[in-house]
Amino acid sequence: MKSGKKAQPFDYVLIVVFILIIIATVYPFLNVLAISLNDPMDTMRNVNFIIPRKFTLSNYTYHQRESSTFRRIKEKRKKAVQNLEGGLYRLFF
């Protein structure tokens, strides 16, 4: 007993097209991840591949050490709380 239809040639073309679309969509994300986990000198020399040649987290430690991102988040949160407190105070008093 056979169930279902036999695959048409167009079905194979669709499979190939969709696989190419998936690769074109996923590759940039994998490339960015590989660059972020690779040695900075390899990135400067443009020696990049999907799998990092030298695995390192130095890019992330450098960013945490040199970045003021968390400081800005704290300041904005503090301002937001002050604005909320001021707004509630004006609303009720």
pTM over 0.85: no
pLDDT level of residue 1 (50, 70, 90 thresholds): very low
Distances in whole angstroms, Cα of residue 78 to Cα of each of 64, 82, 88, 90: 21, 6, 15, 18
| Choice among 33-37, 63-67, 71-75, 81-85 with the minimum mean pLDDT | 63-67
Domain ranges of the chain: 8-56, 68-93
Residue bearing tokens 């443009």: 46
First to last CA, the chain: 81
pLDDT level of residue 6 (50, 70, 90 thresholds): confident
